[in-house]
């Protein structure tokens, strides 16, 4: 696992994603606020004709169950509004939270990712309780796409996108932790002091379902990119900084 403590995580993560971009590549996209600077940077590079996502497709991590796709805060809407409507990506797919048969939809989504050849690089945010995707504490470290119930903490964190916390759905469809681990490269972005405890638990804590993001420690290619406030609880911060400053030129993300 590489931990990068930088003032501008959005640019660094955009570099990490861009290195995978080529026709036929499959990107894993995340929603929430954390990836927004990454998407803005990738769109800017596209606008300047420095980056093309032609021939690239994408899958999102998760979706609210029971929220209409047309709702402004469905992840179907959010990923299009914030990213894919503004760049030449071939197509983006997500789990269908309106499906009548949710377990069947979960199985279909898993199969669609496999049919696409698997995800080359998966972008991740992290919840204040350590969730990735919508895998809340207690999620099986081997889990596949399935329905989950949100914690009250996550519903309160996400209430800012809705009129009130009561409007935040209780249920979601999310790629499982095992699904996420199947991607070739995992890139997690976290910013701000509210993420400091979750980042420390994920990177330096025990691998435990209580902190779902700690499962990243089991993957062989992980890049964690954080700003200084999000890095504030990392005990080995000086080591991560030294490692980054002395990285051999030939070594990529």
Looking at 39-47, 63-71, 101-109, 127-135, which segment touches ligand GLP (CB under 6 A)? Answer: 127-135
Dihedrals phi, psi of 8, to nearest 5 degrees: -130, 75
Q: Which stretch binds ligand GLP (CB under 6 A): 27-35, 63-71, 76-84, 110-118?
A: 27-35
Cα separation, 143 vs 171, whole angstroms: 16
Strand locations in 26-163 (E):
26-29, 57-60, 62-64, 91-93, 121-124, 146-149
Query: Is residue 171 annotated as part of the catalytic site, yes or no?
Result: no
Of the pair 141, 159, the CB lying nearest ligand GLP is at 159
Check if 131 is active-site. yes
Residue with Cβ nearer ligand GLP (31 or 214): 31
Three-state DSSP at 58 gives strand
| Residue closest to ligand GLP (Cβ) | 125
Q: Could you tell me the smallest distance in angstroms from the CB atom of residue 247 to ligand GLP?
A: 26
Query: Is 129 noted as a catalytic residue in this protein?
Result: yes
Instruction: Assign residue 178 a region (left: φ > 0; alpha: ψ between -120 and 50; beta: otherwise).
Output: alpha
214: which strand partners? Answer: none
Query: Least distance in Å: CB of 126 to ligand GLP?
Result: 6
Nearby residues of 85 by Cβ (< 8 Å), 6 or more positions away: none
Q: Which of the stretches 25-33, 46-54, 100-108, 225-233 binds ligand GLP when contact is defined by CB under 6 A?
A: 25-33
Dihedral pair phi/psi, residue 205, rounded to 5°: -85, 180
Interface residues toward ligand GLP, by CB under 6 A: 30-34, 61-62, 125-127, 133-134, 154, 158
Known catalytic residues? 62, 129, 131, 136
């Amino acid at each position: 696992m590489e931990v990068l403590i930088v003032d501008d995580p959005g640019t660094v993560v955009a570099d990490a994603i861009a290195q995978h971009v080529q026709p036929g590549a499959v990107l894993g996209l995340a929603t929430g606020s954390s990836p927004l600077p990454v998407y803005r940077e990738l769109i800017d590079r596209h606008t300047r004709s420095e980056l093309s996502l032609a021939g690239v497709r994408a899958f999102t991590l998760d979706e609210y169950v029971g929220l209409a796709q047309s709702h402004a805060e469905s992840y179907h809407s959010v990923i299009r509004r914030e990213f894919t409507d503004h760049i030449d990506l071939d197509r983006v797919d997500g789990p269908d939270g309106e499906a009548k048969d949710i377990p069947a939809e979960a199985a279909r989504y898993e199969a669609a990712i496999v049919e696409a050849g698997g995800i080359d690089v998966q972008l991740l945010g992290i919840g204040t309780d350590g969730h990735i995707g919508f895998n809340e504490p207690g999620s099986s470290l081997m889990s596949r796409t399935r329905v989950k119930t949100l914690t009250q903490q996550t519903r309160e964190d996400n209430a800012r996108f809705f009129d009130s916390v009561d409007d935040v759905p209780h249920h979601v469809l999310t790629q499982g932790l095992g699904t996420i681990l199947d991607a070739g490269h995992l890139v997690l972005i976290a910013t701000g002091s509210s993420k400091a405890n979750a980042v420390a638990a994920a990177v330096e804590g025990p691998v435990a379902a209580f902190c779902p993001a700690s499962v990243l420690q089991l993957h062989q290619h992980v890049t964690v990119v954080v700003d200084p406030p999000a890095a504030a609880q990392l005990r080995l911060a000086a080591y991560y900084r030294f490692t980054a400053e002395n990285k051999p030129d030939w070594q990529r993300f």
